[in-house]
Amino acid sequence: MSTTTAQHSVSADGADRLPVLTFGGILRSEWIKLVSLRSTIWCYALIVVVGIGFGVLIALTSPAATAGGVPDAIQGSTAVQVATLALGFTALASVVLGTLVITGEYGTGMIRSTFAAVPTRLPALFGKVVVFGTTTFVVGLVTIFGTALVTAPILPGIGVTPNFTKPAYLLALVGGAGYLALVGVFALALGAIVRHSAGAIASALGVILVLPTVAIILSAITQAEWIQSAASFLPDAAGARMFASTAGEAASSGFLAPWQGFLVLLAWDAALLLVAAVLMKRRDA
Amino acid sequence: MIEARELSKYYGRKKAVDAVSFTVRPGMVTGFLGPNGAGKSTTMRLIVGLDRATSGSVTVNGKPYTAHRAPLREVGVLLDAKAIHTGRSAVNHLLAVGATHGIGRKRVDEVIGLTGLDSVARKRVGGFSLGMGQRLGIAAALLGDPATLVLDEPVNGLDPEGVMWVRSLARQLASEGRTIFLSSHLMSEMALTADHIIVLGRGRVIADAPVADIVALSGGTLVRVRTPHPARLAELLASTELGTQVQVHASSSTIEPDVFQVSGLDAARIGELAASAGIALHELTPVAGSLEQAYMSLTQDEVEYHAGGTAPASEGAFR
Which chain A residue has its CA at the smallest distance from B146's CA?
A: A7
- The dihedrals phi and psi of A171, each to the nearest 5 degrees, come to -65, -35
Which chain B residue has its CA at the smallest distance from A23's CA?
A: B100
pLDDT at A254: 64
* Cα(B150)–Cα(B1) distance, integer angstroms: 11
* Cα(A40)–Cα(A237) distance, integer angstroms: 26
Chain B: give the shortest CA distance to residue A140, in Å.
Answer: 25
Is the distance from CB of B116 to CB of B110 less than 8 angstroms?
A: no
Inter-chain contacts counted by CB atoms under 8 A, chains A and B? 153
Q: Domain spanning B2-210: which superfamily? A: P-loop containing nucleotide triphosphate hydrolases (3.40.50.300)
* Cα(B221)–Cα(A156) distance, integer angstroms: 98
Fold exhibited by the domain B221-288: Alpha-Beta Plaits (3.30.70)
- The dihedrals phi and psi of B4, each to the nearest 5 degrees, come to -105, 130
pLDDT at B307: 54
Is the distance from CB of B155 to CB of B166 less than 8 angstroms?
A: yes
- The dihedrals phi and psi of B133, each to the nearest 5 degrees, come to -60, -40
Q: What stretch(es) of chain B map to CATH 3.30.70?
A: 221-288
* Cα(A21)–Cα(A25) distance, integer angstroms: 7
* Cα(A277)–Cα(A181) distance, integer angstroms: 19
Which chain B residue has its CA at the smallest distance from A109's CA?
A: B83
How many structural domains is chain A composed of? 1
The 10 Å Cβ neighbour count of residue A22 is 16
* Cα(A65)–Cα(B47) distance, integer angstroms: 69
**A20–B99 CB contact, under 8 Å:** no
Residue B292 CB burial class (10 angstroms; 0-12, 13-18, ≥19): middle
pLDDT at B284: 86
pLDDT at B223: 79
Chain B neighbors of A284, CB-CB under 8 A: 45, 50-52
> Residue A276 — left, alpha, or beta (φ > 0 → left; ψ -120 to 50 → alpha)?
alpha
**Type and span of the H or E element at B283:** strand B283-287
Quote the longest CA-to-CA distance of chain B.
Answer: 76
Single out the residue of A107, A95, A264, A116 nearest to residue A189, CA to CA: A95
Tens-place pLDDT, residues B60-102: 999 999 999 999 999 999 987 678 999 999 999 999 999 999 9
pLDDT at A13: 46
The answer as to whether A9 is a domain residue is no
* Cα(B72)–Cα(B77) distance, integer angstroms: 8
* Cα(A205)–Cα(A93) distance, integer angstroms: 11
* Domain enclosing residue A120, as ranges: 23-282
pLDDT at B314: 38
- Which value does ipTM take for this structure? 0.88
Interface mutation vs chain A, best among B10, B41, B43, B100, most A CBs within 10 Å = B100
**B85–A115 CB contact, under 8 Å:** no
pLDDT tens for chain A, 285 residues: list them: 344 434 444 444 444 578 999 999 999 999 999 999 999 999 999 999 999 999 999 888 876 555 556 666 677 788 888 899 999 999 999 999 999 999 999 999 999 999 999 999 999 999 999 999 999 999 999 999 999 999 989 888 877 888 787 888 899 999 999 999 999 999 999 999 999 999 999 999 999 989 988 988 988 888 888 888 888 899 998 999 999 866 444 455 567 888 999 999 999 999 999 999 999 999 998
The answer as to whether A1 is a domain residue is no
pLDDT at A4: 40
pLDDT tens for chain B, 319 residues: list them: 999 999 999 998 899 999 999 999 999 999 998 888 889 999 999 999 999 999 999 999 999 999 999 999 999 999 876 789 999 999 999 999 999 999 999 999 999 999 999 999 999 999 999 889 999 999 999 999 999 999 999 988 889 899 999 999 999 999 999 999 999 876 767 878 899 999 888 899 988 989 877 766 655 567 788 888 888 888 887 777 665 556 666 655 556 667 777 777 778 888 888 888 888 988 888 765 566 666 777 777 666 565 544 434 333 333 3
Of A9, A38, A109, the CB nearest to B82: A109
The answer as to whether A10 is a domain residue is no
Q: What stretch(es) of chain B map to CATH 3.40.50.300?
A: 2-210
